[in-house]
Each structure stands twice: as structure tokens, then as C-alpha cells.
Structure 1
């Protein structure tokens, strides 16, 4: 058997062509990765402020404790909370197994808060503002909005302008001194009720075109009619039911489903959609719809729009966009989970509803802002349901992880930012539609033209604030979560900007605050 020299072996094994050989390519690859890591490492560390409720209230009334054991007021057992905090502070997997639970429901993945990722900013390297504190007028306004969203779940969005319930909601929310939803002339109106704050949110129908239009899905087309629950299917309106759920018991009731699938036409439909979706579902669908619009819907900086001989595919084509939308979802959740468990531990709205109920029934005394206690929202809920608890769309209430920020919102912020980076945001969406009041058909929409950028922002708000409609999140969970997810996506795009061979001047997009940037 003949023996080859080393250089002969290398020659026989290496047949690649291109501008550089394997050894040089290896060094270039390492350099790109090192530069990205150094860029992330050199960024200033952000502060991580909290609202101070955990230190202020020894009974932890301002913090998340669902699933742990509670007393008859729904206040958490101090020793259980201490064990919960010990586990979070140490990060020791053994300590998580010693957290006392109040029932059968388990906490959702608190150890996800410690995960590292290999692209984009580390989860601990992104900051947020502190959420509203327990006794603030800001918190009062957000809770009033949630009561009204529960009261108007069955009002079609198309009827908001004429419904007495939506008119009452707009009027009541306008009276709050620190309500931070969109306003016109300082007033909440039926046109901006329950909407987001980003450019495009106030244009056209409440629901984004990307939640209504047919989805090109490989060899088939998906019609966006979905299973929903029947009118009046509200839960956790009795105190025993509320307390059992806080202690981690299984719900006594189940959702009652409408036998007819419908286009999303009201808050109940939207709340059920974000109850059953998988992480990046809305943004995968939006991506497929966008790709179906053709090249004119692509970002003007796409290097293949001007090529006479090539089209994009692995880079700057469908697989590239789809991958970035999907890969940003988990990174956004990691950023969310760090803030949820290791910074804020904000209580859920259903927990706050129990505080309102116990305060107004005289069972306890809590520092709840008087604007909420004296509002029409609170009295209307009591007159309708016989308690001051927040009526929930889901029998189990909120998930067993803390409130701020909303995971759905973080994924929405990241997914929509990725889509804007690859899209022509000013492209006008053809043949726009809106759902009929019964959700059985789509009708032509003939109002102000709807653009990709505006409808993507609206999609982000629909997904983020749709969880509010169900009662499981606060407005600030959604609005600030969108910003956090946006930061995640921008960080990933920065890490990848130097990895392409094409003549490419950078990703351009408009942020949620209206600022245009190029990465």
C-alpha cells in the first residue's frame, strides 16, 4: 500500500473554488464571530430598575405568587415566597425543587432566565423601564382598561363606534390622570380604544390584515377562520374559584367553544387566538403573506432587486427571512424571562383583581389608587358579575410565570422587527379586508390605504394587547415588551450584518417609536 505525503492528501481532499481557501476562510469565520462577541461585550451595561413593591410590602401583595400556597386573602405564604426567592437568587437547580406549591400547577421554566444565547445580545444585557407600582395612578388606569376589555369582549370591533359599552369605556378611561393608551386631544375615543401606540395602529380596522388575509402555506392556502369561545364564556368571577386558581388548583370549569370557526371580530376571538397560538405563529404567517406579495414588497436595499442574473434565496430570499423571524422568537423569550423572574416579579392582573375585591368588600385594606376604586369600570364589573374580581377569558387564568414583560409581546417585537428589516414598509397592501360583525366573512375595506409597516405594527399590538383582552397581562407588559423584543432583533441583525458576500448597505427599518434606522 502506497503512503501519500501530507500535502498530497490535502490536495486530493480539497476541491473547493472561491476567493479564499479553507484555512483562510476558517480565520475569517473566527474573526467575524469574535468581533460580534466583542461588540456585545463592550456595550454599556444597562440598569435594571424595578418598581419597589417587593421591598415596600412585606406581604408581597404587589408581586407575582400564583401557584404558591396562599392564605384566605390570597396573600402568599411567607416561607414559600422565601424559598421561591432563594431559588431565583442562587440559580441552583436543587433549590427550585424545594419551592412549596399550593396545588398541582407548576411554575413555568424560571430557570430559562439564566440561559445564554450565541447570537445577539445576552438576555441580561438589555434593559427596561420599571413597571407601574401597585398604588400608582398609572396602575389604576391599566386595571380600569382591563376591566373594560373584559366587559366588551363580545362587542365586535366594527361596532365600537356605536356600542354603548365601548363609549362608556372610552369616557371612563379618559378620566384617569395617568392612563397611557392612545388619545386624541387628550381623550380616549372609540376609534383608539384598546389600541397600541405605534405608527399605523390607529389607521384602519382594529385587526391587522396579517390576521385576516389567506396564508399561502406550501401546497395549500390557509383561511384565517379560527375556533373561538361562545359569548359570555367568562371565568374566575367568584372568590372561591379565584382563590383556588391562585393556589395552583386545576380550574373547575372549561371553555365552551363556538362550533363555527370565525374570522377574528371581537376581543373574545382575539383573546382565544393568543390562548392557543404557538410562539412565532403570527409572524410566520405574516412572513408567508408578505412573500406572496412579490418583489415590490421587499426592502429597497435588497441586493437582488437590481440584479440582472440572480435572485435571493439562502441570503435575502424567503429562507433567510423565515429563519430570522423564527430564530428571534426564542431569544426574545430569553430576554423576557430574565426580566420576569430576576428583575420585576410583577403580579398578574387577576392577582390585583383579588386585592381590589378584598379591599372593597372590607376583608382587607390595600393602598389601591382611589381613581380605580371610584371608577365606572369597577362598579360596572360588580353589577355585571357580583364581584370585583377581573373576569378572565381562560378558566386557568394567567400562565404560571410573572407578568412583566409579556412573552407574547417580546416575540411580537422581535418578529415584526425582522419582517420590517426585509420589507418595503411603505408598500400598500392590495385588496384590504375587514371581518363582518359575525366573523363569518371578510368584507372589502376602502378606507385609508394600509401599508406593510403600519399593519406589521398593528399585528404586534394585536398579539401583545390581545393577551390583555383575555385578562392575563397589563398594557405596559405589552408596550414595553414590544420594545424589548425589538432590541433583541436589532442585536441579532447587528451580529449578522458582516456575514454576507453581497454588496449590501444594511438593514433599514422604522422602530416602534417612529425612528428610522439602518443596521
Structure 2
């Protein structure tokens, strides 16, 4: 279990993967890497035999697919994940235990909930966040950092902002936990879509018994649609109000769904475009040649002093207009997926559910685990965890589908089938989040205040105005809410128990690089004179114009682009230079 092995046979006593099956699995992946085309033509498969009762592995070949508009996925790399036997990995597991314990506590109650306070207190003592001075290094060498956490920063993203500001904590601690883009009504042409969602009934978790856990590790097919509320009765749907709700959202979402919705909300509400848009702050969604935005829109009016457009008698449409951003925010998603899938099937990081099996055998059952997984300090951290203590104590009190059972350190899973049948690192949702949000930040003015912030009531039945002290601080900007959206979607997968925090952190950065790659290549296709600027997830400025990318004021050494030119394969690897973007 030191590497991803879900879908192969596991020993029923130890949970250890069948060695010969795992070796075949690895050997086949090595052959694919050596000669993808020929291996695929010969009938590539990862198990020695097919079986309709087992789940299929998810698309391992896509990481070897070439792309015509971004660098070959093999050129994108992310650092090694934390070692199995490391304090960092143990810290990430403890965060996941807390997420499971708090899965049904409404976000609206976090400020005053004692268990939320307990989670913040324990996680404030653990090395949970990548090193701000070496975010691209192997974490085993660079180490992770401890950041003080409160109920306002618990389980949020935004730790990368410390790369630009050494004194920063969690930058996304402003406003409600959920991004405004997951709450506001979506204008979709003549449709107006309230974001009331199907959700999972509270209190029901899966894979908390060893036999069930083992069957899932072996690849047992399970119905993922159990326990859903509101599938057939719209009156039962609600706004996202708990971590279980968010986990359910990212169980069924189309991968770019949240970002397409965000683009529609920004376009339909008249938010201004990036100051570098050559057609000015307005954006013609319909292509009528006249303003489509409300003339009393506060966000637009605040951008009116940024100068005259370069082409005052023209509007953007297919370029620098609504259709462009609506297509590009979806276009970049599959490019990001190919890049991260290459990493998944190269690193083969095990899923949290598998790690929790090691914890269960070592700490609850007292059985020696394979590979000498836990040294003395790692085992001390796990044994001392308040989260793990509460989890094992709560067994038999209704936290799972089972009522009478022995203590267990198995991670309670939100999904009946547990994690997907592909490795954990990087994360598909997080990479797509980083890519799509980067495209949105490049198109819209991220500095303007988000107008009319709301939050869901504890029961999820209503949206109410957000009344927090920071509501009018000037910091609830479009950029913040877009960054928060990326974190919500990515960390929502952690809330289900299927990903680690470092899966999110490194994958968001990977997606950001893929998006900048795509935007740079497209820069040579426009006739317009433009220069767009926005901030990276690390809080430093990115500037893109025809044939040029600057990061933190420095021009990157990228291959020169000429108008209409398609980069030849030997000139297409710009991924290494983009790695400096945090």
C-alpha cells in the first residue's frame, strides 16, 4: 500500500496488495511510458485478466496524449509528494480525519462550534503547508510549515499567498467559506438558475469496517448514487451549506462546471473585463455592438477611470469578448487533465483511504504494517491526534451506517465507492481549477469588489446577506472569490476523503502553468494590441501580451512567437520556464 493499488487484489488480513499483480501493473505502465503508441496498439491493460465485477482504471493513457495548443504533458512535472513515512503525510491524514468528523456541521455555525475550534487548535501545531521558500522542491527535503489556523481559515486554500508576502497566513480567510460563485444565481441566456443542489443525507459514511474497506480496495463495483436527496423532488434541494454538500457537488460536477458558471455570473452581472482588454471594461455578450451591462452596476462604475479603450468604435466578441472567455474556460480543462494524468500515473501516490488502512492496522489493531511505514515520531503524532481519538471513540454512535462495531481508524468516506480508480497525485479537480480560474482572472478585472455577498443558512434553504466584519473591508474582490472557488472545488474532494492537501496545492500550480502556456500561445493569433495583467495564486503579477510573458516583473525566456505561427515540437517545451510561476 506504499503506492496506489486500488483495483488489484489485497490480502484480507493485512490489506497488502498482491505483489505479483502490482508488479505487472507497474511493468505495464513502464512499457506505456517507453513507447505509448505501440503499447496501446498491442492491447494495453493493467490487470492480467478482465472482470466485469471490478471497477475499471480511469484513463491512464490520457497522460501520454499530445496536445496541439500546450506543451506535451510529459514536460509538466510536480514535486514528489510527501513520503509515506513522514510527519507531513501524518499531518495531512489528521486534517482529513477532522474533515470527516465535521462533515455535517453547517458552515454558518463554524465560528461558534467547539469541534471546529478543536480542529483549528490541533491543525495549528502540525506541518501541513508547503514551504513558502521552496514551493517547487521535494517536500521531504524542503519540509512543510506550520501556520496558525482559526475557524475563519480552517480547511481553506490561499496558503500560497505567503510566497509573495512572508507574513501572510491563509489569504482566503476573508468572507464566507464558500465562494460567491457557488451561491449566486447563474444567468444562462434566458434562463436563471438558482444553485440549489442535490445533496447527500447527513450522518452516512462508508468504508468504516475492515471487510467493506477491503472489498473496495480490491475494486468492487458499487453504486455511487446511494443516499442522495432531491434527485426527483426539487423542493428537497438546497444551497451548499456543509462539507458533505460540497463533497457531493464535486462528486457529480462536470469538471469545468463551476468556472463556466462563474464566467456567466460575471458576464451577466456586468463585471468589468481585465484593464488590459483593448475594447475597454464593458463586454458585449450578445454581439450587438452596444453596451450590455447595467448602467448602474457598481463594479463597472468603479472601473470607469482606467483609461480609454484602444478601439473605441469596436467591441470584443470572438476575441476579447464573451464568447472567447466562455470557450477558453472550458477549452483549458482537458489540457490541464492531460498534464495531471501524466503525473498521476507516474507518481502512483496512494489514496488517503489506503493510508488509513495502515493507521488502522498499526494503531488500532497493533499489527506491524508493511514497509516499516511509521517511525516513532510519525506514530506518536498519529496516536496523539485528538481527531483520531474522537473518531475511534465515536464509532458505534451513529457516525456511519454501522451501529455496533469495534473502534476503527479507517477514514469515513463520503462516497460509497471511496476514491476513484486512479492515483491521488496530482488532483484532476484541482488542476482544472487552477487552469480555469487563471483564464478567468486573465479576462476579468480581479481588483473590483464583489457586489452583494451572501451565505447560505444552516439548513441550506435560503441565501442571506453576508454580515461578517470583513464584508465591507474592500478585500472581497473578484480575484479573491475566484481563488476561493478553485480552493473550494479542489478541497471539496479532500472533504470527501479522496485527496490530500498537497494534491490540491501542487495541482493548482500545475493548472496555472497550463493556462499561462495556452494563453501565451494564443497571444500570437490576435491582431489586437493588448496587455493583460493579473495575480498568480502566489500573489505575484503575471503579464501576458503578444509573444511575451512577464512574471513578478521579469520577462520569461520563452520561444519567440510570430503571428499565426504554430510552434514546432522541438520548440514547444515551455513548461520548464513556466515552473517558476507560483
Is 1:80 paired with 2:21? yes
Aligned to 1:408: 429
Is 1:287 paired with 2:249? no
Aligned to 1:439: 460
Structure 1 unmatched runs, 5+: 1-60
Aligned to 2:153: 192
Contact 1:138 1:180 in 2 (8 A): no
When the two structures are aligned, how many residues end up with a matched partner? Answer: 456
Aligned to 2:361: 358
1:76-115 maps to which residues of 2 (within 5 A)? 76-91=17-32, 92-93=39-40, 94=42, 96-97=44-45, 99-100=47-48, 104-115=54-65
Aligned match for 1:131, one of 74, 81, 85: 81
Change in CA separation of 1:178 and 1:316 when aligned onto 2, cut-off 3 Å: closer
1:34-45 maps to which residues of 2 (within 5 A)? none
Contact 2:103 2:244 in 1 (8 A): yes
Aligned to 1:242: 213
Is 1:467 paired with 2:504? no
How far apart are the structure 2 equivalents of 1:98 and 1:219? 47
1:230-309 maps to which residues of 2 (within 5 A)? 230-251=201-222, 255-259=226-230, 260-294=236-270, 296-305=271-280, 306=309, 307-309=311-313
Deviations 1:63-107 (A, max 9, x none): 100001111222111111111112111111246335236851111
Aligned to 2:385: 375
Aligned to 2:100: 150
Change in CA separation of 1:186 and 1:476 when aligned onto 2, cut-off 3 Å: closer
Deviations 1:373-400 (A, max 9, x none): 3211111111112311000000000000
Q: Report the 3-state secondary structure (helix = DSSP H, G, I; strand = E; otherwise coil) of the residue aligned with 1:96.
A: coil
1:219-234 maps to which residues of 2 (within 5 A)? 219-234=190-205
How far apart are the structure 2 equivalents of 1:181 and 1:151? 27
Contact 2:509 2:537 in 1 (8 A): yes
How far apart are the structure 2 equivalents of 1:421 and 1:180? 26
How far apart are the structure 1 equivalents of 2:312 and 2:512? 34
Contact 1:348 1:402 in 2 (8 A): yes
Quick check: 245-254 or 440-449, which moved more? Answer: 245-254
CA RMSD of aligned residues (A): 2.0
Contact 1:147 1:390 in 2 (8 A): yes
Q: Report the 3-state secondary structure (helix = DSSP H, G, I; strand = E; otherwise coil) of the residue aligned with 1:443.
A: strand
Aligned to 1:512: 537
TM-score by length of 1: 0.85
Structure 2 unmatched runs, 5+: 33-38, 133-143, 162-170, 231-235, 281-308, 396-406, 545-582
How far apart are the structure 2 equivalents of 1:459 and 1:228? 19
Is 1:486 paired with 2:508? no
Contact 1:233 1:255 in 2 (8 A): no
Contact 1:120 1:494 in 2 (8 A): no
CA radius of gyration, larger in: 1
Contact 1:137 1:178 in 2 (8 A): no
How far apart are the structure 2 equivalents of 1:373 and 1:90? 41
Contact 1:123 1:335 in 2 (8 A): yes
Aligned match for 1:495, one of 514, 517, 521: 521
Contact 1:414 1:482 in 2 (8 A): yes
Q: Report the 3-state secondary structure (helix = DSSP H, G, I; strand = E; otherwise coil) of the residue aligned with 1:71.
A: coil
How far apart are the structure 2 equivalents of 1:388 and 1:462? 26
How far apart are the structure 2 equivalents of 1:89 and 1:66? 18
Q: Report the 3-state secondary structure (helix = DSSP H, G, I; strand = E; otherwise coil) of the residue aligned with 1:160.
A: helix
Contact 2:127 2:145 in 1 (8 A): no
Contact 1:181 1:194 in 2 (8 A): no
Contact 2:129 2:145 in 1 (8 A): no
How far apart are the structure 2 equivalents of 1:129 and 1:184? 16
How far apart are the structure 1 equivalents of 2:226 and 2:500? 22
Query: Which aligned runs of 4 or more in structure 1 are off by greater than 3 angstroms?
Result: 100-103, 177-186, 251-254
Aligned to 2:343: 339
Aligned to 1:203: 174
1:47-58 maps to which residues of 2 (within 5 A)? none
